[in-house]
Structure 1
């Protein structure tokens, strides 16, 4: 067990009293949680890490890439953080080491999403579906997809929760 696994284990025990009670809270078999600590976080399923991170309110990216336990901020809360404000003030650019880390994360996600698809595992995470289809496109298709998604962000019906139409229960995916 590595340092991050030890720290995560301590964090869980501090907040939930035991690993077994935490596993029950997130509807995960205790043996699965235990194997995450034994095999290491980087060798674990993304789905399991998402469950853990979501319950604990911690950033999965920081856990995997930086081996740190840090609070997760929803997208709209990130701009309020001191780190983000500092980045804006300093007009910070992505360094080559940060770019390498981002590429490692993307490679990891591609492997996990491909593995999930191969094994007919569907997480129901919309971002996973979006990435899966995005990576099937060639570079022109990806540019077009980015442009169209950016257009959708300018339409209230797609961004304002109060304007979202009710889901049609009879709608079938093609």
Structure 2
């Protein structure tokens, strides 16, 4: 762990041997890990001319037969109106399609088009390389334990629908 701000130990950490509450607080550690791990990849996504929100939308739809805008917003960690506006733009660009549910006309499914699949596949390749580099630091066994633990934590903390 380095003392460089933004990586490892914060610059305002206490004197040697002191431990701040946040340095062992799970929620802080989760947020900090997410922030540090995401920042570098988000730079790469933006360098490709793709807004992070677009990346999240495309990645969330990959491997699905479609999601509602509400489900997409939850997956993208964003509010529904913002995701709805971005979906509109991506539909106009031909990356997504909207389809009304045959059983419930109020429900609209958002799906990747072929062009959307092509766009997200390149980004997913980059994301997998980034993830592999990060997880290499803890090894494959620990990486799987970490992923399982985080999944269980999310399931436990999520409110019942």
What is the TM-score normalised by the length of structure 2? 0.25
Q: Which has the higher helix share?
A: 1
What is the TM-score normalised by the length of structure 1? 0.24
Q: Which has the higher strand share?
A: 2
Larger RCO, structure (CA 8 Å, separation 6 or more): 2
